[in-house]
Structure 1
Amino acid sequence: MKINWGMGLVIVMTLFIGFISFFVYRMTTDHNLEHDLVTEGYYQKEMELQGNIYAQQNTAAMEKQITGIKNKMGYLLQFPEGFDPHKIKGIVSLYRPSNKKLDFEIPLELTDSNLLIPGSRLLEGRWNITIDWEYEGKKYRFKKQITY
């Protein structure tokens, strides 16, 4: 049987459609290829954006910033000494970009100007630390990327 150009064109188009159909099927059924949004409640967090911008501006205006140091026991966050630690309330969120199952939060209740994040909760690698805190009615937000 001799294949002319019309038959060749139909065969090539059929193979191409089959090839694309195979990949569409594979992408929709393979559970290893599932990807979620970066965070849960993404659109709600988008609505809170302007408040976060004001809080970050308040943090940038501070004379001394929050510092972080890796030590044997974990990661130590040091708040500036000008703030009364008993009046600082908030939450520390640790976000692991590579695995959302490792994300966790710690309530921010200080007795002195230091907060220790235990090393047992931190695996080696990159972490994003976000501290949302309030002091005397003024909101602050500190963000930092660390490699533990």
Structure 2
Amino acid sequence: MKINWGTGIVIAIIAFMSFIMFMVVTMITDKKYDHDLVTEKYYQKELAYQKNIDAIKNVKELKEAIRTEKTPLGLKIFFPSSFNLNEIKGKVFLYRPSNKQLDFEMPISITDTYLLVPEKNLLEGRWNMDISFTYNTKEYLFQKELIY
């Protein structure tokens, strides 16, 4: 059987369309390609963004920076030494961009000179950390990307 150029074009178009359909079905059904929004209430958070900008500015104006340290016990978060640690009120939110089931939030309760995020809560990989707290009626927001 001899295939002329018109039949070859039709076969090429059908093969291309089949490949595209295969890729579309694979992307829709495979869990490996399933990505969620980073945060749930995205639009409500966007409306309060100026408040966050001011809180981030307050963190940058601190004389001593907030720092983190990875230890065998977990992640230690050190606040400025000039702060009275008992007066810090707020929360630490760690979220994993690749899997929202691993996200967690914990209140700031400092027993020593640092806040400890237990190692059992942190899997290896990339984390985004938001520490939002108030000290002397001033709001602060510290954001950092971590590789744990």
TM-score by length of 1: 0.85
After superposition, residues 1-148 of structure 1 pair within 5 angstroms as 1-111=1-111, 113-148=113-148
Residue by residue, what CA displacement relative to the aligned partner does 1:62-111 show, whole Å, maximum 9, x if unpaired? 11111222233222212112222222111101122333222211111335
Q: What secondary structure, in the 3-state scheme, does the structure 2 residue paired with 1:115 have?
A: strand
Percent identity, please: 50
Distance 1:112 1:84, change over 3 A: farther
Matches of 2:120 and 2:2, distance apart in 1: 71
Distance 1:123 1:32, change over 3 A: closer
Q: Which amino acid aligns with 2:144?
A: K
Matches of 1:48 and 1:91, distance apart in 2: 17
List runs of 5+ in structure 2 lacking aligned partners: none
Q: Which amino acid aligns with 2:19?
A: F
Distance 1:22 1:107, change over 3 A: same
Give the superposition deviation at 1:146: 2.7
Give the superposition deviation at 1:38: 2.0
Distance 1:56 1:2, change over 3 A: same
Matches of 1:112 and 1:80, distance apart in 2: 13
Q: Which amino acid aligns with 2:7?
A: M
List runs of 5+ in structure 1 lacking aligned partners: none
TM-score by length of 2: 0.85
Q: Is the 8 A contact 2:35 2:98 kept in 1?
A: no
Distance 1:48 1:13, change over 3 A: same
Aligned length: 148
Q: Tell me how large the CA RMSD over aligned residues is.
A: 2.0
Q: What secondary structure, in the 3-state scheme, does the structure 2 residue paired with 1:109 have?
A: coil
Q: Is the 8 A contact 2:95 2:128 kept in 1?
A: yes
